[in-house]
Structure 1
Amino acid sequence: MHAYVYKSQRKADTYVYLATRDDFTLLPEALRAQLGALHFVLDVALTPGRRLAREDVDAVRGNLAVRGFHLQLPPSAAGDPMRDDWGTDA
């Protein structure tokens, strides 16, 4: 399965995976409005067992098969240990 990845120009660290390149018709209108312009960033083969940096490849494949798109939201601040104040700044 192939995916085409687009970055939201309005929402930081938010990406949309599409099953068909430039086919934004499957995105709900409310979601399209929130994301703003989408900029193409990656063409990727989603083979079983492939690893993605922030997403489960099986979940992405499932969403693409059922919906035609997958939405990748930014990681939560609670899950990012680098956002904590470690008291090391001078």
Structure 2
Amino acid sequence: MLTAVYKSSKRANTYLYIEKRDDFSKIPDPLMDTFGTPLYVMMFDLSKREKLGIADIKLVQSELTEKGFYLQLPPKEENLLEELKKQNGVDSV
């Protein structure tokens, strides 16, 4: 399964995986508006990979098959202040 990957021009660490290079016909317009101009990153054969960086390869394959695209969002960042509050039993600072 050939897969093209694009980086968002508007959102850091946000990537769009699609089935065909430069074919954004299956991407909903609101998503494209939020994603911005897609910046081509690479193309690879997903079926020859055992894993991907932070994305679940089975989920990527499933989404590509069902929807024609997969959107990879950045992982949530830890809020260190909130973690410190929890550890110390503090409600607000």
| Structures share fold, TM-score greater than 0.5 | yes
Distance in 1 (CA, whole Å) between partners of 2:15 and 2:77 is: 17
**How far 1:25 sits from its partner (Å)?**
1.1
Distance in 1 (CA, whole Å) between partners of 2:60 and 2:16 is: 10
What SS does structure 1 have at the residue aligned with 2:71? Answer: strand
Cα offsets for 1:38-73 (capped at 9, x unmatched): 010011111266110111111101111111100000
The one-letter code of the counterpart of 1:61 is: Q
Distance in 1 (CA, whole Å) between partners of 2:48 and 2:39 is: 26
Whose radius of gyration is greater, 1 or 2?
2
The Cα RMSD (Å) is 1.7
The alignment of Structure 1 onto Structure 2 pairs a total of residues equal to 81
**TM-score, normalised to structure 2's length?**
0.80
Matching residue of 1:70 = 70
Distance in 2 (CA, whole Å) between partners of 1:23 and 1:54 is: 24
**TM-score, normalised to structure 1's length?**
0.82
Give the 3 Å change call, closer, same or farther, for CA 51–29 of structure 1 in structure 2. same
- Runs (4+) of structure 1 exceeding 3 A deviation are none
Matching residue of 1:14 = 14
Name stretches of at least 5 consecutive residues in structure 1 with no aligned partner.
Answer: 86-90
Is 2:86 the partner of 1:52? no
